[in-house]
Every structure is written in C-alpha cells, then in structure tokens.
Structure 1
Amino acid sequence: MNRIVALCFLLTSCSAFEGKQKTNVNEIIKTQEIRQLNHAEIIIAAEQYGAQTYAQIDEAYRSGQIDCADAVAHADQTIARLATEMEGQIVLGFEQGDFTSKQEKDLLEAYQYNQENAVQSQPSIQMMDDKYALYTVPFAREDSVYSHCVPDTVVGMWSLVLPIKTVINHLD
C-alpha cells in the first residue's frame, strides 16, 4: 500500500512540473525562431549598426586613440580591430582614389558638391548588394578635430562596408 501511495505521489509531482517545462521549452523556441526581415528593416538595422560603429570611431578619434595619418594609411589598430569585429571594411578618405567602389566615389563627390554649395550633408546608408551595406559619414575641414587631417580637399568621408550577416546578428 505504501508503494502505491508513493507511486501516486511521484506521478502527481512529476505532472505538476510538466506545464512549467513546456512553458520553458516554448520560450526557448520563441527566442530561436528565424525572423524574416524585409528590405526596409535590413536598411534600418544597417543604418543603426553603422551609426553605432561610427560613434565608436568618432569617440576614439576625438580622444586621440585614432591617428589621422594612420587611419588614411590603413594602419590604425583601433580601426583594424573594429573592421575585424564586424567582418567589414572601414576607410577614411579624402579623394576618389581612397575608395574602391563606385558608390563610395559617388558619395564622396556628392559630399564635396554639397560642401562647395553650402548644403548640409548627412550620413548615408545604401545597399551595395545583397551581402553588404555602405554607411558613409562626411566631415568638413571646419570640424576642429579634423582640421589638421584634411588635405587640400574641403571634405572627407568615413566609409563603413557592413556585412548584412553582421548587421542581422546584432539585432536585439
């Protein structure tokens, strides 16, 4: 008789945890669900990720951790570390030859045109293809932090080539 009571007690206590275990499993499944993003969501996420990465670059530059000459020569360790972390490319440039893609060159030209015509330029986000996004940020010689760095040109540009895979992996 004691065995029957013990067995009933054991079965009852196990079934009491069954609902809780199902809830935990359902929560885990929800966090592991594959989320499909549309084109607009990817661009917004890439813009946010680019802005966050640029903020790190700008802070490091303004605090003296990034040297302009090293950045232009692609020899700065902070920029190299950030580029490696995001599996992308970060370039500081002042002329067409500093950039490899047509989109980068076109954006630099647009930023230069805007500067010459007193038009305010803003950061830009564009899809390069289905694997990469291009986030660019212009800066002018008038910015005191960059004044010693900018050569004869009136505007320079930070270019961040962001892998879409990295952008998606950094979504909340």
Structure 2
Amino acid sequence: MSNRLIHYSILITGLFFASCNPERRVEGSKEAVERMKSMQIKRVTSPQVVTIVDDWGERIVKQAQLDWEAQAKKPNANLSALCQLQGIAEIDSLEQLYGVQILLLGTKDMKNGQLSPKEKEVLDAYLYNAENKLPQSTNIQKLGDSVLIYNAPIAVQNMICQKCFGDDATKLGLWRVKFLKNEVIRKVDGKSLVKNKK
C-alpha cells in the first residue's frame, strides 16, 4: 500500500470518528465561543460596572427567591438548611453562572465576622429602617476596587422572613450578592456595552 493510500485511510477513519460524536463537537464549540467572549478586550467604566451589578443583582435575587420558595414548599423541607441556602442546586448554579456569592442576612449578622465594617454599617441602616417601619430599597456598595455588594431587602410578609427571621422582632431579611469586578468584566458581553453607550 502506498503512502498516499495510508494517509487517505487515516484521514477517512479520523473523519468517521469525528462525525460519530457530534454532541462533543457542539459542546466544545460552545465552550470555545464562551472562552473567546471572555478573552475579548473590553473597556468597562466604573459606572458601567455598577449598572451591570444593579441589573444582574436584581435578576439573581428574583430568581434565588423563586428557587428558595419552591424548595421550601416541598414536603419535609429542611428549613434550617434552606435558611443557610444549603441544598438549593439552582442557587448554586446562579452563583456559578454569574461568578457571585449569595447569602441571606438578618439582624444576627451584625455579629458576623465575615462582613466588613462597611457592610455592617449598611446592615445597621436596614435594621434602623425595619425598626422604624421606614421604606427599604436595594443598595450597592463598593469594597475597595475589586468587590461590589448588592443588597436587596426581603418583604416582611415573604415566606423567607417568616421562616428564617420570624424569631426577630423586625423580621429583617436581606439578600447579599457579592460580585468580583474582574468577573463582571470577564462575563459581560462586549456588544451589550456598545448598545448601552448609544
């Protein structure tokens, strides 16, 4: 058999095996596209990062709340675990998708050593508003140059406040979403930034 025939037979065999697994090619191409998107050079200003965090934070909290409520309504739901956001696969997926950390905070977290002094000041302001029946709103705080925290208060009537913070007079419940600036820039679509400029 000539060298040319050997090369042809190897090529045909290779093409046969490649065509036998189209799912792998599609999966690989999706990963490649995502990798290429994340490697794009993007110029993202600080105000743009805050706008993105505000948008993503709102989406994350809305979805996380729905996922939490769905889990809590299941028979034999472990509420103490749910209040720690344990065992909620959908919320774990949200964290991975956006590159964030999601927590539920309440009055007891004033003593939480994981929170920065600045975060405790904001939590204290939410607590003051809750005690005085004042309106609550979402909040974004910057911690240095690399971290942004999105806080969203939970309505007192909501199941989360009743089940997780019912032993507290104020029933203060707060979603905390921690964003890393570099992850936001890496994950944001460059095209959406161009659209927002127009």
Is residue 83–residue 89 contact of structure 1 (8 Å, CA) maintained in 2?
yes
Question: Structure 1 residues 162 and 80, CA, compared in 2 at 3 Å: closer, same or farther?
Answer: same
Equivalent-residue separation in structure 2 for 1:46 and 1:35 (angstroms): 16
Write the letter of the residue equivalent to 1:112.
L
- RMSD of equivalent CA atoms: 2.5
The offset of 1:68, in angstroms, is 4.5
**What is the identity percentage for the equivalent residue pairs of Structure 1 and Structure 2?**
21
The residue aligned with 1:170 is 188
The offset of 1:153, in angstroms, is 4.4
Higher helix share: 2
Equivalent-residue separation in structure 2 for 1:92 and 1:50 (angstroms): 14
Which segments of 5 or more consecutive residues in structure 1 lack a partner in the other structure?
1-31
The offset of 1:107, in angstroms, is 1.8
**Structure index of larger Rg:** 1
**Is 1:58 equivalent to 2:65 in the alignment?**
yes
Is residue 133–residue 163 contact of structure 1 (8 Å, CA) maintained in 2?
yes
Deviations 1:78-117 (A, max 9, x none): 3333223333311112121345222332222111101111
Is residue 90–residue 160 contact of structure 1 (8 Å, CA) maintained in 2?
yes
The residue aligned with 2:130 is 115
Which segments of 5 or more consecutive residues in structure 2 lack a partner in the other structure?
1-38, 193-198
The offset of 1:162, in angstroms, is 0.9
Equivalent-residue separation in structure 1 for 2:152 and 2:82 (angstroms): 15
The residue aligned with 2:104 is 92
Which of these residues, 24, 40, 53, is aligned with residue 46 of structure 1?
Answer: 53
Is residue 72–residue 93 contact of structure 1 (8 Å, CA) maintained in 2?
no
Deviations 1:58-91 (A, max 9, x none): 1112223696522433523333332233333111
Deviations 1:109-153 (A, max 9, x none): 111101111211111112222222100111243334531221314
**Is 1:152 equivalent to 2:164 in the alignment?**
no
Question: Structure 1 residues 145 and 72, CA, compared in 2 at 3 Å: closer, same or farther?
Answer: closer
Is residue 57–residue 177 contact of structure 2 (8 Å, CA) maintained in 1?
yes
Alignment of 1:6-45 (within 5 A): 34-45=41-52
Please say which of residues 40-49 and 70-79 is displaced more in the overlay. Answer: 70-79
**How many residue pairs were aligned?**
141
Write the letter of the residue equivalent to 1:135.
Y
TM-score (norm 2): 0.61
Question: Structure 1 residues 142 and 77, CA, compared in 2 at 3 Å: closer, same or farther?
Answer: closer
Equivalent-residue separation in structure 2 for 1:141 and 1:67 (angstroms): 21
The residue aligned with 2:28 is none
Runs (4+) of structure 1 exceeding 4 A deviation are 65-68
TM-score (norm 1): 0.69
Which of these residues, 87, 104, 117, is aligned with residue 76 of structure 1?
Answer: 87
Please say which of residues 92-101 and 50-59 is displaced more in the overlay. Answer: 92-101
Equivalent-residue separation in structure 2 for 1:52 and 1:140 (angstroms): 16
